[in-house]
Amino acid sequence: MSEPVVSATKGIEAMITANVLILEDDRFQSRLMESMVKGLTSGHVAIAANGHEALEHLKAEPLPHLILCDIQMPEMDGIEFLRALAGLSHQCSVALTSAIDSNIIDSVLQMARWYGINNVSKVEKPIQQQAILRLLKQAQQVEEAESKSWPQYAFSDDDIIEAVASQMVPFYQPHVAAKSREIVGAEALIRWQHPEHGTLTPNHFLQQIEQLGLSHQLTLKVLQQGIADCARWHQLGMPLHISINVSASDMVELAFVDSVLAILNEHQLPAQYLTLELTETEISPHLAKSLDTMSRLRINKINLSIDDFGTGHSSLHQLITSPFNELKVDMAFVRHMLTSDKHQATVSASLVLAKQLGLKTVAEGVETQEQANKLADLGCDILQGYVYSPALQGDQFIEWYKANPIG
């Protein structure tokens, strides 16, 4: 049975080097997958008939870069194995290969992610060779990305205070119209230009900023620079919108609206070109003050976006009680919408709800052209993600715009 499978690999230019562990109790299926995998990788390929055998393989070298994992198996099933795998120091890519109900598989996928297995996906049986090739390439990319990942740094409070004052600047990730693929705006994303460690993303410093009570100060800094840059875009013939994240502490500052209006007036940017993004989980505390601030922002024509929609606990309540005019679909749903019926249904339902409420929609985390096309088909207005560009420094963003007037 292996000859047709192996011969089908002759058109592949170069072998991938990735070790694979096949976790499958059906002997025919495991040998079929082994034949396909060996035709695609020069790495080590091992087979285990249940979770216990797979754990034994993980005690010896070479460790796998990819595990093809069935769910229904004797002695130790795939769910038990994933739980055990999460407790090990070795992290690798995992693909669920079960033929059981897709709803169960989706639940197991979510369970694995909550256990801390981040690079987990699913593939339908009977498995096709192209699907395995895709999984091997993804596993290789994950391995390469992790080897290049930023280390964790420890910063003193004085380091953070100085950085907020003079070293943190907004970068800009483009917003692209889903239908026309025209560039219509950008989101300002804070970056720390560290003198030793280079450009650092918020996961390195945001929690410490919040603990020091500097969130509001940082927001005002980003507003000042972001609005100034957007006004500059307009002067250069780039009539773009700017989206800026704000925090719960901003919403309870009753002087916040006046500060925003003063910055807009200073740079002569019409208010309708500014959107403030607020995560839904940050709205509930001090709701009266938050609604006070949000309502004043809206009557002054500043747009309000409910960010990360669907990830909090009071999404619909916040949506109908707050004066939002934009809904942003969280990247967690976008990322899996083409491989999970539930995720696609969630994205679709969010977009339909937004349309019925008269809200503009933005999808973040768009990484592939297939996702972009599907979101456009579902009626999403604006797309944001690496399929178009990462966040760019101010001058780089202008150069990118000039080179890419249409995405």
In the chain (407 residues long), the average pLDDT of successive 10-residue segments reads: 38 66 90 89 90 89 89 90 86 86 85 86 84 85 61 87 95 96 96 92 90 93 98 96 92 92 98 90 67 94 88 68 91 88 92 95 94 97 95 95 74
Instruction: Give CA–CA dist 230/282, Å, rounded.
Output: 26
Number of residues written out for the chain = 407
* Cα distances (angstroms) measured from residue 314 to each of 220, 309, 322: 27, 10, 12
Could you count the other beta carbons within 10 Å of the beta carbon of residue 182? 12
For 376, residues 6+ apart whose C-beta sits below 8 A from its C-beta are 178, 179, 383
Q: How many CB atoms lie within 10 A of CB 76?
A: 18
Alpha carbon distance 33, 199 (integer Å) = 43
Q: Tell which residue, 263, 246, 111, has the closest CA to residue 188.
A: 246
Q: How far apart are the first and last CA of the chain?
A: 46
**Which H or E run contains 271?**
none
- How far apart CA 205 and CA 152 sit, in angstroms, is 10
**One of 24, 277, 282, 364 is an active-site residue; which one?**
364
Relative to beta strand 183-194, strand 168-177 is antiparallel
| Res 15: pLDDT | 63
CB atoms within 10 A of CB 219: 22
- Residue ranges of the alpha helices (H) in 300-393? 315-321, 331-335, 341-356, 369-377
| 399 catalytic per annotation | no
The residues near 383 (Cβ < 8 Å, ≥ 6 apart) are 175, 176, 177, 178, 362, 363, 366, 372, 375, 376, 407
DSSP state of 332: H
Determine the residue type at 28. Answer: F
Contacts of 295 (CB under 8 A, 6+ apart): 323
Cβ atoms of residues 99 and 125 within 8 Å: yes
Q: Which amino acid does the sequence have at 148?
A: K
Enter the tokens of residue 241.
């919108």
What is the amino acid identity at position 66?
Answer: L
pLDDT score of 283: 55
Give the per-residue pLDDT at 8.
39
Identify each DSSP E strand in 42-182 by its residue range: 45-48, 66-69, 93-96, 120-122, 168-177
181 torsion bin: left (phi>0), alpha (psi -120 to 50), beta (else): left
Report which of 202, 290, 275 is spatially closest to residue 244, judged by C-alpha positions. 275
- Domains in the chain, please, with CATH? 2-147 (3.40.50.2300), 157-403 (3.20.20.450)
Q: What are phi and psi of 130, to 5 degrees?
A: -65, -35
